[in-house]
Structure 1
C-alpha cells in the first residue's frame, strides 16, 4: 500500500481526497500547514512517503516553497500541486518549483486519482542528487554537469534528460517514456520535441573526439552507454 502525504488546509476538501484515495487502495496522512508537512517528511519514525499532494495556498505560506525546500534537501518524492490558480504561468511556476504535476481547482476526484496513479507508475529512482557515472559528474542540486572536468552548459530540461538517461545505463529509453517522465505529457504530441532536445544534449555531452555516451537506437529510442 502506497503512502501519500496530503497537505491541504481545507478540511472538507482534504476529507474528500483522503476518502477517494483510500478507496483506491492508498494510505493517506493529512496535514494542514507547511510546517506540519515538513515535520511529517523529516520525522525519522515516519513511514516513508511515496507521493506528496500539496495545496498551493496554505495558512503559513506558499505550498511551492515547501516543495522547493524539500528539493533543496535532496528529496525527490513525486509532488502533485493543487491550486485555484490555474493559468499557464501558474502551472509553469508550479512545475519549475519542483512539482511533478499540477491540478487546477476545481477538479474531479477521479482525475486526481488518475494523476496520482500516473505519478506512482514512474520508475522508482534513487534520490541521489550527485551522480558520477564514467566521465560524467552531475550535481542536480547545483544544476551543473561536467564530462572529464569539462563543464557542460546544460539547460534545466537537458540536465533532467541526462539525469533520466544515466539512471538507466544500457537500457533503451523510448520517446514515450521521456515524454511522460521528463515532460509530464500523458499523450504523445505531434512534434519532434524529444529528438530536438536529445540532439542538443548529445552535441554538448559528446564533443568531437570523445567516445559517444548517448546512442540513438533507430525506431526505438536512446541508450546511455557506460564506458568500459
Structure 2
C-alpha cells in the first residue's frame, strides 16, 4: 500500500515513514503543501497522512484544495491539535480519520488499513438516487450533473443508506458500519457527516426521524 505522508517535522516524518515501512507500507514523505499537491497529481497513492501545521499552508486548506481537485483517496489527519473543535474541523474539511499526537505507529497503520479497506470495499460501480450520482470506488459524485466534493466517509454514509432501499437505518447501525465495533470515535462524528452531506447536497438529501434513524431522501435506482 502506497502512502503519502505530509509532515514538516523531519524527526517525526522519518519516524512515521520508518514505522509504516516496518508495517509493510510503501511510504513517501513531503514537507509542505505545494509538494503534496504536486505529488498527488503526479503519482498514485492509496492514502494520505496529513499534518495540519505545514510551513506554507494550513493542512485543512490543503485538504480542501485536494478535494476540490478531485483527489478522493482516504485521508488520516495527524496533528497535535487535540481539542474537539479541531477534530470536528478535520471531519468537516473532508478527512476520513483523525489521530492526535503523540500516537502509536501501530494505531496509525491500523487506521490506514481501515480507511483504505472501506474505500476499496465498494463493489457497486455507480449509484443513482434522484439528482445524485455516485461512483463509490472513485469517490466522485455529481448533483444535477455538477461535480460535488464528498469525503470518503460522506460517500460511505450515502452508500449505506442507498443500500437500505428506502428503509430507515438506526444511528447505531450506521455508526457501526462506518467505524466498526471497536472504534472509540464519538457518536457526534456521524452527526458531523450528516450535516456536511445536507450542506453540500441539500437538506432533503438525508431524512431523519426520531426513534427510526436515517434514510436517503431520494429513491436509489
* Residue 123 of structure 1, CA deviation: 3.5
1:199 to 1:77, Cα distance in 2 relative to 1, 3 A: same
Q: TM-score, normalised by structure 2?
A: 0.67
| Matched residue, 1:13 | 12
Q: Which residue of 2 aligns with 1:68?
A: 64
Give the 3-state SS of the residue equivalent to 1:19 in structure 2.
Answer: helix
TM-score normalised by structure 1 residue count: 0.65
Runs of 5+ consecutive residues of structure 2 not aligned to the other structure: 145-152, 195-205
C-alpha distance in structure 1 between counterparts of 2:185 and 2:82, whole Å: 23
2:132 to 133, 137, 157: 137
Please state how far the C-alpha of 1:179 moved relative to its aligned partner: 1.8
Q: Which runs of 5+ in 1 are unaligned?
A: 147-156, 207-212, 214-224
CA distance, structure 2, for counterparts of residue 188 and residue 95 of structure 1: 12
Change (3 A) 1:145 1:3: same
Query: 1:111 offset after TM fit, Å?
Result: 1.7
Give the 3-state SS of the residue equivalent to 2:110 in structure 1: helix
Work out whether residues 40 and 71 of structure 2, in 8 Å CA contact, stay in contact via their aligned partners in 1: no
Question: Structure 1 residue 205: deviation in Å?
Answer: 2.0
| Contact 2:207/2:217, CA 8 A, preserved across alignment | no
CA RMSD in angstroms, aligned pairs only: 3.9
Aligned equivalents of 2:6, 2:134: Cα separation in 1: 29
**Equivalent residues in 2 for 1:1-228 (5 A)?**
2-43=1-42, 46=43, 48-124=44-120, 133=128, 135-138=130-133, 161-166=157-162, 178-179=174-175, 182=178, 186=183, 199-200=208-209, 201-202=214-215, 205=217, 213=219, 226=221
Displacement, 1:178?
3.3
Q: Determine if contact 1:122/1:181 at 8 Å carries over to the other structure.
A: no
- How far residue 162 of structure 1 moved from its aligned partner, in angstroms, is 2.6
Q: CA deviation at 1:184?
A: 8.0
Alignment coverage as a number of residue pairs: 185
